[in-house]
Chain A
Amino acid sequence: MFEAPSIGDLNIAATLPATLLALGACIFLLVDLFVPKDRKYITALLAAAGLLTSLVLALLSLMNIIEFGSGETAFAGLYIADQFTDVVNVVVLFTGLMGVLVAYNYLDRIGKQRGEYYYLLLFTTVGVMFMGSAGDLVTVFVALELLSIPLYILSGFRWPQEQSEESALKYFILGAFSSGFLVYGIAMIYGATGTTEFRGIWLAVDEIIAQDLSSKYLLLLGAGLTLVGLGFKVAAVPFHMWTPDVYQGAPTSVVAYMSVAAKVGGFAALVRVFASGMSNFVLDGATAAAWQDTMWLIAALTMILGNLVAIVQTDLKRLFAYSSIAHAGYILTAVAAAGSAAVTNEAAQAVAIYLAAYAFTNIGVFAVIISVEKDDSSNTGLDSLRGMSRTQPLLAASMTLFMFSLTGIPLTAGFVGKWFVFKSAIAADLFPVAVIGVLTSLVSAYYYLRIVWLMYFEEGEPQVYIPWPLASAISLAVVGTLLLGIFPYLLQEMAQDIVLAFGR
């Protein structure tokens, strides 16, 4: 009755960067058992080498130098290997590499130099890669859990320190709760369309709309619940409550990685599910998809709340937690824009561009926080940066650049990201959201530039600790932020081949 496909039809070669890393993570898990406790740098090196190999492969695929496999789908439609996959892969593999660089000495300092850290990091990276390349709701769900479960463990990596354990428990309970909503939503979509594959969903939605079937209500419910589940992952208001607590309690090296990786994964899945699978879900002769209104409302709320609450924060990790919520709002604006059929591809490109720009900048910010943090995880207040320009001029200059980039000042990567996001919002006739975005960016300038003010115009003697891996991570972040800001052409070139909408 059911015929198993032959292994040749699976097109495994197309998934090479992701499967290779997954395999590598499984092997390192065993190898680590034989690495003595005082030589965990071997595991760290292996992890970095694995990430680098996959990064090179993904970059080759991104630049179309080598095409792995034949055709765009693999594993019988569960996996899609297109330009969007390549962009997500490159961004998250780079983030993972930076994650290893910032973590190595930090783990030494907190006395938690253990091999588990590195392969759990590899597993989350694989999870994000599979989310970006999902061709089926099954892949979305399994990849989301592969991304989340190691992150729960990593958040509590600093046990028995209370804050770390507490953040892990909070993250776990709310994460598992929200994944319940996600699968319920997926079950509803499956019930309405009879399939879990995005192309099948897209075709079924066309039919539902054309014949005005009553299963459209089921689909609406499914879309809503899926949005709740993924909205939690990307920390969109009103599902953001976990973010500040988890970011404050978790080890800073984990936050540096997950503030970017979890967002990349969540937004990749949002784009795949909504922009690709349900972009044609247009009810009652409206001009845009049924989910667009909800999406832009959430985007507006996220931008407003994230930026306003960030103003009153005094702890750096909490401040940047709210800042990351605000940035989720900017990216959601582009996701909302994808609801207008004519703009779908442009909006998906804007999401990819913003994520790439955000990855460089945000991980740099947390690397700077790691450098001022004390071994007992204290000293992450705003005061810890006071007067930094005098003792550490280079570090202060890098932090200033990151702040400019997060504000969105021209010649930095952040500006390029915001430019494309707001352009796609305007193209989709979402003027109010674009205006809210620009206004809240102005608000954000207040708390970002206050940090610059603290570093340059106030007295203080900050103590910093920068070993070479951390220094190289910060330099890479600076180079990336400047390069993408001065040559936006690079990002545009990378993203312009992203085509997500299925053809009619």
Chain B
Amino acid sequence: MVPLWMYLVVAAALFCVGMFGVLSRRNAIAILMSIELMLNAVNINLVAFWRYQAPERLNGQAFAAFVFAVAAAETAVGLALIISLYRRRKSVVADDANLMKW
């Protein structure tokens, strides 16, 4: 059987890829996709922990389902915001949103 730590390493790698994407990409849609990667990394963690640490209760699996649902809601709102920005500027580059600075 595959040991638990392998799952954790994959999840951590995926999370870091997502984090790098959020920090480095300029396209708002790519940022959104990277955030999805981060949340999916969490799902791998949750399900792996559930299977190896506490398979007698459904906690981990149920939590993963909640994460799906919330991620979908977040994406819907995020895309709506990006579209409304795009309609006016014909651009989805997040760096262009720079009216306010301290």
Chain A residues with CB below 8 A from B91, complex form: none
Alpha-carbon distance between A245 and B94 when the two chains are bound, in angstroms: 14
Which of A18-26, A138-146, A434-442 is the interface stretch?
A138-146
The residue in chain B whose Cβ has the minimal distance to the Cβ of A153 is: B77
**Known interface pairs A2-B58, A145-B73, A194-B54. Does A244 touch B102 (Cβ–Cβ under 8 Å)?**
yes
A196 to chain B, nearest CB (A): 5
A to B contact number (C-beta, < 8 Å): 123
Question: Does A239 sit within 8 A of B, measured CB to CB?
Answer: no
Q: How far is the CB of A229 from chain B (nearest CB, A)?
A: 11
User: Within 8 Å CB of A162, what residues of B?
Assistant: 88, 99
Closest Cβ of chain B to A210, distance in Å, is 18
Contacts of B74 in A (CB 8 A): 145, 149, 172, 176, 179
Q: Are B100 and A248 in contact (CB under 8 A)?
A: yes
With a CB–CB cut-off of 8 A, which chain B residues contact A177?
22, 35, 38
Closest chain A CB from B29 CB (angstroms): 11
A304 to nearest B CB, angstroms? 16
Task: Decide: A190 and B77 in contact? CB cutoff 8 A.
Answer: no
CB-contact partner of B42 in A149, A176, A183, under 8 A = A183
Partner-binding segment picked from A44-52, A54-62, A163-171: A163-171
Q: Which of B45, B70, B78, B99 contacts A187 (CB 8 A)?
A: B45
B49 contacts A187, C-beta separation under 8 Å = yes
Given A145-B70, A165-B81, A169-B82, the answer on whether A180 and B18 have CB atoms closer than 8 Å is yes
Q: Does residue A277 face the partner (Cβ distance < 8 Å to B)?
A: no
CB distance from B47 to the nearest CB of A (A): 10
- Contact among A172, A195, A318 for B59, CB-based, below 8 A: A195
Q: Which of A215-272 contact B (CB under 8 A)?
A: 244-245, 248-249
Is the C-beta of A80 less than 8 angstroms from some C-beta in chain B? no
Within 8 A of B (CB), among A309-362: 309, 318
**Which residues of B, 66-80, contact A by the 8 Å Cβ criterion?**
66-67, 70, 73-74, 77-78, 80
Known A173-B94, A176-B35, A180-B39; judge A156-B45 contact (CB<8 A): no
Is the pair A191, B35 in contact by a Cβ cutoff of 8 Å? no
B45 / chain A contacts, CB cutoff of 8 Å: 184, 187-188, 191
Q: Is the interface of A mostly helix, strand, loop or mixed?
A: helix
Contact with A along B6-40 (1 / 0, CB 8 A): 00100000010011001000001001100100110
Complex alpha-carbon distance, A248 and B87, angstroms: 23
Min CB distance, A440 to chain B, in Å? 19
Q: Please tell me which one of the listed residues A142, A160, A167, A248 contacts residue B70 in the complex, with CB atoms under 8 A apart.
A: A142
Interface size range on A against B: 35 or more
B46 & A156 in contact (Cβ 8 Å cutoff): no
Contact of B100 among A138, A188, A191, A245 (CB under 8 A): A245
Q: Cβ of B32: which chain A residues have Cβ within 8 Å of it?
A: 173, 176
CB neighbours of B97 from chain A (8 A):
165-166, 169-170
B77 touches A184 (CB 8 A): no
Across the two chains, which residue of chain A brings its CB closest to B80? A153
Task: Please state if B35 and A165 are interface contacts (CB–CB under 8 Å).
Answer: no
Inter-subunit contact B84/A160 (CB<8 Å): yes
Among candidates B35, B53, B100, residue contacting A194 with C-beta atoms closer than 8 Å: B53
Known: A138-B62, A318-B102. A165 touches B85 (CB 8 A): yes
Q: A156-B84, A249-B99, A309-B102 are in contact. Are A184 and B54 (CB under 8 A)?
A: no
The CA of A139 and the CA of B67, in the complex, are separated in Å by 12
Residues in B with CB closer than 8 Å to A152 are 77-78, 81
Chain B residues whose C-beta falls within 8 Å of the C-beta of A446 in the assembled complex:
none
Partner of B99 from A163, A188, A190, A191 at Cβ < 8 Å: A163
Q: Which residue on A lies nearest to B45, using beta carbons?
A: A187
Which A residues are in CB contact (< 8 Å) with B31? 173
Compute how far the CA of A183 lies from the CA of B71 in the bound complex, rounded to whole angstroms.
11
Known: A180-B15, A245-B100. 6 other contacts (CB 8 A): A138-B63, A149-B74, A176-B74, A180-B35, A180-B38, A191-B49
Residues of A within 8 A of B (CB): 2, 137-138, 141-142, 145, 149, 152-153, 156, 159-160, 162-163, 165-170, 172-173, 176-177, 179-180, 183-184, 186-188, 190-191, 194-196, 244-245, 248-249, 309, 318
24 A–B contact pairs at CB < 8 A? A137-B63, A142-B70, A145-B73, A145-B74, A149-B74, A152-B81, A153-B80, A160-B84, A165-B88, A165-B97, A166-B85, A166-B97, A168-B81, A169-B82, A169-B97, A172-B74, A180-B15, A180-B39, A190-B59, A191-B53, A195-B57, A195-B59, A245-B102, A248-B100
3 smallest CB-CB distances across A and B, nearest first, come from A180-B38, A191-B49, A187-B45
